Structure 1
């Protein structure tokens, strides 16, 4: 007997009111869909249609009860556990079979519960407090940093230098107290003037240099030590501020609640000549777990196979094409087609984590003024010295420095590799600008200047392809650093306007420190260390160098621990003090000189190697 004959017999049974009407209709639907029937279905057909077993073709019968829609034991009621007779009315509910009368006694309660679950999943934010587990190793590393710094200052430095270090400690305590009272930056009115912290930051090197110079000539009898102590003072300040803020940020993140609110998101992928990596990026986004998402791919006039590769997915994503105009124009083009409440930007060479979209959206629930959330960017092609140093640089930069800014709601760069924005705020600010070559940095500063909040999420991970040769690395950093200086220059007014909150009080001053002061101090320190060693002060140079090295290793170990990263990367921490750091300082100084000479900044990109997702 074929499929049509069985369906005809079942229709006759329905017309003659024979058997269970609901089950008859169900079997007709399953057979029409070529679905496998369970053994109990076979017995039911034999009984109700008066057929012999041999007459039912095996193609309709599963060897085992494989149906995902049915409970294999269909002959018993799931409530009363009595056999359901073939002539009794039965019905299915949540994969189980019931007597109709049995189900009626609980239907109201079960249906209400089902509706509550569905409503909770789609519309209601359910906060489930998460227990914070204290990490003893993290506590030990944090304590070790401060104990080591205190001992070093006490035994190595003179009283005036200790006073300079104490000023850094006082600043840290001030900011820690401030962060507990008011978490986010807010607009305040007042007379235009630089922040007290900026004045202290800009003026203190000269004051401290004078103090250390006096101490150096009268007590230490070596002018070479002056610069080394100045560098140590600045490093001491940074450590005293960033480490406690990073620990505080980690503590707050661990205390976040689980949520079930999923606003619709639009994911925009701008791409130009990314044929080696684009398929991995799209597939990772398709696999990412999020209930309401749309993926918008924007080809910015590629002249390779990028567009044709993306077209393979055109049934699942929106594929757009435009003439080449740069990344900012591609993002603006994609925003026109975005319909989500949240817009997520993903670079074409980035593979995001399976749960990253859920995690990054969670950041918007902290406060209604949160405009953007930065993802946790990791290097996936850790193949050689240059890529492993970059991987470690990303980890320490995000887990120590960025976390400090996160505490104050003023992260300055929501990266293009993975960053989420509330679309309504983007619309109010206007389109991505072409005035700089680092559109992500520029757009983030615009949000902060509008009095909005930017947060970070270390659980929203994204894996990017870092330059794997020194030549490509230099090309990438040349664009980054020139672009960063462009942004600082463009938004320099924020340094002197108190209404910009923590952007003016903390974030921009420290960016200025990192981009301008630090490379100058770094190169000057190296030169002085070499000269000091030649002049016979090698033991003191060695002591200072070891202090820098030990503190950096402890901070790196803390960052790796916070991020649950590969401990083997700690072997490369020394290069971020000697070797890799000098390359960074040189490129920063080069960018400053090019900006002063008004040399045109151009877009540069690294060569892709197209690693597999795994």
Structure 2
């Protein structure tokens, strides 16, 4: 495949909004640099351009005729305009609407003919309609119907009561979300949230009901633990699924950014020579009129500073002695002049329109202090990276979207996160007390009564660990750091003045980091015991319900994010396999914390792809 010809086709895809805009620009850059493409990149190009790529060569394509172009790309030049039915050539300006192609002029004439309202109003109405995806609503309906019918007809009345209590807590939170989402600083008696009390007390309630039905001493623990896990799953699904669809709808109908405040992009880096050039080039290419890029070298011992200095005419290049990521961010803040601060990791390549999209989040409410970007795994090359890719998608598109509705997203990621500078500085500098500075800083903002939102259109592509050794190193830091933050801000678990941070977000994080891994392995042991005792049918039913629900939720997340449907094949591993690895690492982090072992910074090796 000719290099120049492939670049021209990707340029055409960008003009016609085919595929992911940010990824298209990144691939063009890699092809120009004559770097090898990943298999996933080649499959992506083949999918959006409908071609087959074997090898990319440097053959001269300047004299290739239009006929030869069609020989290479038989489908691209054969698209016809829906209005005039003439072929749309590569050099023609075109628009794709509702899976149909139009010449730009024909499309505008078609709108004028069909509608008496102005074109601008028609386009705005079309945007609003785009927020309604029937497939999303269908999947949501299937999830709810499946849960209710299986619990009632298969698991029986006790399970229905336990699930019903979880549903009541869900309705309680959804009703509360109708008011203002920022903290009102209302005083009240200190106590854990209703949600946390319910989850911690539910096994005792379930045990009482099971004992009433006359199960033996050996059978009871099996059903208690499995029903406890099922209750948590039921509650999460009942709350997060409708909130995720609502969040997606709200984001789709949101108007374009009305003003462009100046933004300062800070890139903290330590020994990132393999990836830093791509990150800086990607930021320079992003579409935003008022931006400054501040690179902070945190005492690197490799060529990171040397590579960054090549761009010193376009960005601010700062250097300091090694002091950690938090100190590098604080150092960059001193030199920033923007109203909005955007933090980007040194291994992250952001989408071409991500800066504009992430700024839109601040126009929702004056109390919005931070907006989290949509982090995607780019190097989906093996089992471990594909499981991480799906984990990111379900976590962001289901769980985080629910927190977005409540204005209490707990982690604005360091890979791509934006902050209102005035509010960020009021909350205090990035602290060195933990090794997960993004989590700690976000909780500080929420405790100040502010709002954190998310943007799934502000995309950022990051390198995920592609080996178990690197995966363990990354997650060790994450989980030890998360426990540090939970301990540091444990007062928020019982103080009602912190609003949804106390009522929902922090209890859920406590559940996920401490309770869930314990339940996971306890449930696994009880399932094995249940099979040995002959209660295998009940264990099988519970396992199937867990698996089917997770597949349906993964399908919904992939649909919301317009992601690769092939990732759905890996949904089962997030129930059996990958999940147990994660739970084991969480338990290890808890044990190390209880043993008062020192938490150290560990990270994965850079691949540089």
Aligned counterpart for 2:128 among listed residues 109, 120, 131:
131
| 1:397 aligned partner | 395
SS at match of 2:215: helix
Structure 1 pair 214/366, CA: closer, same or farther in 2 (3 Å)? same
- Cα deviation for residue 210 of structure 1 reads 3.2
- Cα deviation for residue 206 of structure 1 reads 2.6
Asked if the contact 1:213/1:226 (under 8 Å) is kept, the reply is no
Larger C-alpha radius of gyration, 1 or 2?
1
| 1:286 aligned partner | 284
Asked if the contact 2:221/2:526 (under 8 Å) is kept, the reply is no
| 1:329 aligned partner | 327
SS at match of 2:160: helix
Structure 2: distance between partners of 1:215 and 1:598: 44
Residues 506-539 of structure 1: CA deviation (Å, up to 9, x unaligned)? 1011111111111111001111112222333323
SS at match of 1:261: coil
| 1:572 aligned partner | 570
Mean Cα displacement is larger for which, 139-148 or 184-193? 184-193
- Structure 1 moving runs of 4+ over 4 Å: 218-223
SS at match of 1:458: strand
- Indicate the RMSD between aligned Cα atoms, in angstroms: 1.6
Structure 1 pair 221/527, CA: closer, same or farther in 2 (3 Å)? closer
Q: How many residues align?
A: 485
| 1:376 aligned partner | 374
Structure 2: distance between partners of 1:222 and 1:432: 48
- Cα deviation for residue 596 of structure 1 reads 0.7
| 2:515 aligned partner | 517
| 1:435 aligned partner | 433
Structure 1: distance between partners of 2:289 and 2:355: 10
Structure 1: distance between partners of 2:256 and 2:441: 29
> Aligned ranges for residues 46-65 of structure 1 at < 5 Å?
none
TM-score, L = length of structure 1: 0.77
| 1:148 aligned partner | 146
- Cα deviation for residue 402 of structure 1 reads 0.4
Aligned counterpart for 2:159 among listed residues 142, 158, 161:
161
Q: Which runs of 5+ in 1 are unaligned?
A: 1-126
| 1:503 aligned partner | 501
TM-score, L = length of structure 2: 0.78
| 2:446 aligned partner | 448
Asked if the contact 1:495/1:504 (under 8 Å) is kept, the reply is yes
Structure 1 pair 250/191, CA: closer, same or farther in 2 (3 Å)? same
| 1:342 aligned partner | 340
| 1:269 aligned partner | 267
Residues 165-211 of structure 1: CA deviation (Å, up to 9, x unaligned)? 10111111222222223344432122322222332232223323333
Residues 6-43 of structure 1: CA deviation (Å, up to 9, x unaligned)? xxxxxxxxxxxxxxxxxxxxxxxxxxxxxxxxxxxxxx
- Cα deviation for residue 220 of structure 1 reads 11
- Cα deviation for residue 429 of structure 1 reads 1.5
> Aligned ranges for residues 312-323 of structure 1 at < 5 Å?
312-323=310-321
Structure 1 pair 213/483, CA: closer, same or farther in 2 (3 Å)? farther
| 1:296 aligned partner | 294
| 2:5 aligned partner | none
Structure 1 pair 128/265, CA: closer, same or farther in 2 (3 Å)? farther
Residues 563-593 of structure 1: CA deviation (Å, up to 9, x unaligned)? 0000000000000000000001000111111
| 2:31 aligned partner | none
Check if 1:361 corresponds to 2:363: no
Structure 1: distance between partners of 2:214 and 2:550: 25
Structure 1 pair 181/551, CA: closer, same or farther in 2 (3 Å)? same
Residues 323-357 of structure 1: CA deviation (Å, up to 9, x unaligned)? 00000000000000000000000000000000000
| 1:479 aligned partner | 477
Aligned counterpart for 2:226 among listed residues 225, 228, 243:
228
Structure 1: distance between partners of 2:262 and 2:499: 31
